[in-house]
């Protein structure tokens, strides 16, 4: 059963990656700052998340020894994520093929994969801090893109940048509403239920 | 306990490597955009402008290298441009007034280079100048004579031209200062020509 899930996830990750690498789709997504940041990069992160399900339990257990409550993976994913939030990096990903390759590799292997592996190990507080920081980042960046009078990227138009800003504020607001509903009526740890309980290093954290 | 220590260690390594990468990627947290990076790079390491053949508004051909010996202020335009380049045009007109003396002494030269050479024939370039210039002197408009020349110019100066939603172009408009040795030494905001004029006057003083 687990082997089957691993195979399916690995296959799914591969298919999604091939689709994203297809030149027409790649060019369409990279032609706009909005689709690059809100469609392409999130889908690449998804490839990494799918890939994480194909990681053998033995390997995951070895990583867990260095990833108490998912902290290491979260730190890594956050730093790499910060890099791809720099307007300069987004610009370079379009005009410099080396940056484009780095984007594909790092979003899959250094954001999606470590985050997915670590998220199973995160406790209530780590998860809460991450979610609130994610929402704050959407608001901060969205606000910046919306009000900045000049283009932040030489490869993208100003109206594209402002549209990205509006969408980021919207996503931040939706995430905020979702977390508010969860706090009032639900359990924050429920999105880890899909993963196997055996992977928990710290079982206490799960029921916090 | 062992896992906590290991996690702290691994996270520390990630923070150090990540911090160093972010620092490198932003020129030590000084340039977060491509445009800021371009300006910083030119200030710290002046770029030799390429010897590209240009055709001026009179149809005369000259080499960009021929301007050596005087300070050169360059902007990139396309004459159909309804927005930015009109601003750039009037800014160069303003520079013509504020730099009248050094321009007359042939110490300074103004040059508008078209990145749309197919459309911008010498006649259209002449019309462009007609629209803006306040006097006849020392402001040339020119187009590169071949595609390689244009690409080389865009690459060395760091100009990115992208199509806009109205059939025209958008580009990182700015005022570029080239020194008498033919090196691009400073890039100024397009919206503020008095800063560029001041910088030129300062550099002209012995």
Classify strands B139-144 and B108-114 as parallel, antiparallel or unpaired: parallel
What average pLDDT does range B127-138 have in this prediction? 84
What average pLDDT does range A34-60 have in this prediction? 96
pLDDT of B133? 84
Q: With CB atoms and an 8 Å threshold, state whether B165 touches A159.
A: yes
What average pLDDT does range A92-112 have in this prediction? 96
pLDDT of B161? 95
What gap in Å lies between CA A7 and CA A15, rounded to an integer? 12
Percent of chain B having pLDDT more than 70?
A: 97
What average pLDDT does range A66-74 have in this prediction? 96
pLDDT at B59 over 60: yes
pLDDT at A24 over 70: yes
Q: With CB atoms and an 8 Å threshold, state whether A68 touches B4.
A: yes
The mean predicted confidence, pLDDT, of chain A is 89
A78-87, A161-170, B13-22, B188-197: lowest mean pLDDT where?
B188-197
Of A75, A76, A154, the CB nearest to B34: A154
Q: Output the CA angle B194-B198-B199, nearest 5 degrees.
A: 120
Residue in A with minimal Cα distance to B158:
A154
pLDDT at A20 over 50: yes
What average pLDDT does range A28-33 have in this prediction? 95
Q: Does A89 touch chain B (CB under 8 A)?
A: yes
Query: B173 contacts in A (CB within 8 Å)?
Result: none
Confidence of residue B125 (pLDDT cuts 50, 70, 90): very high
Confidence of residue A191 (pLDDT cuts 50, 70, 90): low
Q: How many angstroms separate the Cα of A7 from the Cα of each of A2, A47, A50, A55, A57?
A: 9, 14, 10, 10, 14
Percent of chain B having pLDDT more than 90?
A: 82
Query: B170 contacts in A (CB within 8 Å)?
Result: 151, 157-158
What gap in Å lies between CA B134 and CA B184, rounded to an integer? 26
pLDDT of A193? 47
The per-residue pLDDT for range B16-58, each reduced to its tens digit, is 999 999 999 999 999 999 999 999 999 999 999 999 999 999 9
Domains of chain A, residue spans: 2-206
**DSSP-assigned letter for residue A156:** S
Q: What share of chain A is helix, strand, coil (3-state, %, to 5)?
A: 80, 0, 20
The pTM for the full model equals 0.88
What gap in Å lies between CA B24 and CA B118, rounded to an integer? 39
Burial (CB count within 10 angstroms: exposed 0-12, middle 13-18, buried 19+), residue B72? buried
pLDDT of B53? 96
Of A68, A86, A89, the CB nearest to B7: A68
Q: With CB atoms and an 8 Å threshold, state whether B25 touches A89.
A: yes
Q: CATH class for domain B47-204? A: alpha beta
Q: With CB atoms and an 8 Å threshold, state whether A92 touches B34.
A: yes
- Cross-strand pairs, A45: none
Could you count the other beta carbons within 10 Å of the beta carbon of residue A61?
12
pLDDT at B88 over 50: yes
CB A79 within 8 A of CB B14: yes
Q: Which helix (H) or strand (E) holds B163?
A: strand B161-163
pLDDT of A204? 41
What sign has the CA pseudo-torsion A154, A158, A160, A162?
A: positive
Q: Does A85 touch chain B (CB under 8 A)?
A: no
Q: What is the largest CA-CA distance in chain A?
A: 54
Mutation target to probe the B interface, by most B beta carbons within 10 A, among A73, A74, A78, A79 is: A79
Q: With CB atoms and an 8 Å threshold, state whether B33 touches A88.
A: yes
Of B6, B10, B37, the CB nearest to A88: B37
Residue A174 token pair: 């939706």
pLDDT of A197? 46
pLDDT at B176 over 80: yes
Q: Does B34 touch chain A (CB under 8 A)?
A: yes
């Amino acid at each position: 059963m687990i082997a089957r899930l691993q195979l399916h996830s690995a296959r799914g990750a591969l298919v999604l990656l091939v689709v994203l690498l297809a030149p027409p789709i790649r060019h369409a997504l990279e032609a706009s700052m909005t689709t690059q940041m809100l469609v392409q990069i999130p889908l690449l992160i998804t490839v990494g998340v799918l890939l994480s399900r194909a990681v053998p339990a033995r390997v995951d257990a070895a990583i867990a020894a260095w990833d108490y409550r998912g902290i290491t993976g979260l730190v890594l994913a956050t730093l790499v994520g910060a890099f791809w939030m720099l307007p300069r990096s987004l610009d370079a990903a379009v005009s410099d093929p080396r940056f484009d390759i780095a984007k594909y590799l790092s979003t899959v292997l250094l954001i999606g994969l470590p985050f997915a592996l670590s998220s199973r190990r995160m406790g209530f507080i780590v998860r809460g801090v991450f979610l609130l920081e994610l929402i704050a980042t959407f608001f901060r960046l969205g606000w910046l893109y919306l009000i900045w009078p000049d283009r932040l990227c030489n490869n993208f138009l100003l109206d594209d940048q402002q549209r990205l800003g509006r969408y980021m504020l919207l996503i931040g607001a939706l995430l905020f509403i979702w977390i508010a509903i969860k706090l009032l009526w639900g359990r924050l740890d429920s999105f880890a239920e899909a993963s196997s309980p055996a992977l928990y290093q710290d079982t206490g954290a799960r029921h916090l | 306990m062992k896992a906590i220590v290991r996690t702290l260690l691994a996270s520390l390594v990630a923070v150090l490597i990540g911090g160093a990468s972010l620092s490198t990627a932003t020129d030590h947290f000084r340039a977060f955009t491509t445009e800021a990076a371009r300006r910083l790079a030119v200030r710290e390491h002046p770029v030799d402008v390429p010897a590209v053949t240009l055709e001026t508004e009179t149809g005369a051909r000259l080499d960009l290298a021929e301007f050596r010996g005087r300070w050169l202020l360059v902007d990139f335009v396309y004459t159909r441009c309804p927005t930015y380049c009109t601003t750039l045009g009037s800014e160069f007109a303003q520079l013509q007034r504020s730099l009248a003396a050094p321009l007359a002494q042939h110490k300074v030269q103004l040059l508008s280079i078209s990145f749309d050479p197919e459309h911008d024939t010498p006649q259209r370039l002449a019309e462009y100048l007609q629209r803006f210039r306040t006097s006849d002197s020392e402001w040339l408009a020119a187009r590169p004579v071949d595609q390689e020349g244009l690409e080389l110019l865009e690459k060395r100066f760091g100009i990115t031209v992208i199509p806009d939603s109205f059939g025209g172009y958008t580009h990182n408009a700015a005022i570029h200062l080239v020194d008498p040795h033919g090196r691009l030494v400073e890039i100024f905001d397009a919206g503020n020509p008095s800063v560029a004029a001041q910088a030129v006057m300062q550099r002209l003083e012995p």
